[in-house]
Each structure stands twice: as C-alpha cells, then as structure tokens.
Copies of this chain bind each other. A is one copy, B any other.
C-alpha cells in the first residue's frame, strides 16, 4: 500500500538531496519518486547518497510540471511553512499520514516537497487539497529536504503499522521517590556481579547470560534511590556473611 504513495520533489537543486530522499523513502517502504524539473538528474552524487536505494532513482519519473506529477492522484498534500497569505487546510505530519492512508485503498496520493531554499510557490500550494507543516522550532526551521521526506515517510510507515502498536506501560515515573541515576545503577551491577562470583553463583569462566538477564530485570523495574540503597545494603550484607 505504501508503494502507492508518490513522493514529488519540485525543482530540487542538489543531487545529494535527491539521493538522500530516495534512501529515506526506501527505509520506510516507499517506492515512487517523481521529480519535477530537477536541476541535475541523474547524477553519481544522488546514487552515492541513496546508499543503495538506486532502484528508486532508476524508476524515478522526471516530469516538467507539477500538474504532470500529480496527474491521476486523488489526494495531493503539499509541504508548507506555517504562515501563508490565505490559510489553507493545514495538517501536522501525523494527520496528513492518516488522511493519505485512508485514501490509499481507493487511489494514489502525492506528497509534494518544494525547493531547498523557497519551498513551494503559492500556485503550487494551491493545487493541493491539504498542506502539511512539520512543526519545526520557530527559531530554526531549516529542515533539510531529505529530512522532511524522512519525517513524512516515517509517519506513513507508522500509520501502516498502527494495528501492531502496543503502548508500553509506564514504570516509576509517578513515584514519590527519585529514580536512581544511571551511574548508581552501574555501581549496583558491578557490586552485584562481585557478589554473584563470590557466592559461586556466577562462573567468570562461563558467565552465560546471567548479568544480561539481571540488568534487564533491574533496568526494566526503574529502580528508585531507596530501592537501590536497599539492594546495595543487601549485597554488602551477603559479602560480610560469605565464607569465601
């Protein structure tokens, strides 16, 4: 289904960005690239930056106008900076992916990306059903073109996987006692390992996965500082009582 999404890049200047966009697409399972009057294409630099996604570049369609690029599409979503002269239906990337996903069973969808320096023109934006705005830092909105493709492609993939998503439970966050810092937890593991060896439970010659399993257990439990002190005290008590 993700292969029905067209990524349309308008008047891209840098071949590196075309290559990096192809790589971003392929990592997320997208396949269709359409280039509207790219400055340079094909190019060895695009091939290099695609990092092996050369099939996407080889199959990319080059057209001379946005109209050609979006012909046959029933939903066209254009990337946009936030403020425009006339407001347009504006989605965040997640909502845009949801709209696109809902459309894919019945038709093709275009996600349109503008020039590195100036984005899409108003005329181009006005060919879009929706605009999508990646919510950048207002003080630094200089998102790389391939990074923008990565974010939208990622949201498409996340939407495609939504039924598989399982929210993880929260541990320890609403605790009344501070969570133990990483370095204290590391000291606990060092101490724990010494004690395990000392009591002959852990064979340093053949440790198997014992420490790994214990790490997973304690890290997963999100130890707080009091619990950590209790465990450290316990280990010290074991050492003192050990015959070795």
Q: Which residues of A contact B (CB under 8 A)?
A: 20, 23-24, 26-29, 51-53, 67, 70-76, 85-86, 88-89, 91-95, 98-99, 102-103, 106-107, 110, 122, 126-130, 134-137, 140-144, 146-147, 150-151, 154, 157-158, 161, 165, 167-168, 170, 173, 178-183, 186, 209, 212-213, 215-216, 219-220, 222
Question: For A23, what are the chain B residues with a Cβ–Cβ distance below 8 Å?
Answer: 142, 144, 147
Q: How many copies of this kind of chain does the complex include?
A: 2
A140 and B170 within 8 A (CB): no
Known contacts A99-B170, A180-B74; decide if A28 and B137 are in contact (CB<8 Å): yes
B20 and A140 within 8 A (CB): no
Closest chain B residue to A157 by CB distance?
B135
16 other contacts beyond A23-B144, A72-B183, A130-B168, with CB at 8 A cut-off? A23-B147, A27-B137, A28-B136, A52-B140, A71-B183, A72-B181, A73-B181, A73-B182, A76-B182, A88-B216, A99-B173, A110-B182, A122-B212, A126-B216, A129-B222, A136-B157
Complexed CA–CA distance, A67 and B24 (Å): 31
B179 and A209 within 8 A (CB): no
A213 and B167 within 8 A (CB): no
Question: For A128, what are the chain B residues with a Cβ–Cβ distance below 8 Å?
Answer: 219
Known contacts A27-B141, A135-B161, A147-B27; decide if A102 and B212 are in contact (CB<8 Å): no
Complexed CA–CA distance, A137 and B51 (Å): 14
Complexed CA–CA distance, A84 and B7 (Å): 33
Question: For A216, what are the chain B residues with a Cβ–Cβ distance below 8 Å?
Answer: 86, 88-89, 126
Complexed CA–CA distance, A148 and B241 (Å): 49
A92 and B20 within 8 A (CB): no
B142 and A51 within 8 A (CB): yes
A103 and B67 within 8 A (CB): no
Question: For A102, what are the chain B residues with a Cβ–Cβ distance below 8 Å?
Answer: 170, 173
Complexed CA–CA distance, A72 and B178 (Å): 12
Checking B71, B89, B147, B212 against A150 with a beta-carbon cut-off of 8 angstroms, the contacting residue is: B147
Closest chain B residue to A225 by CB distance?
B74
Question: For A67, what are the chain B residues with a Cβ–Cβ distance below 8 Å?
Answer: 182-183, 186
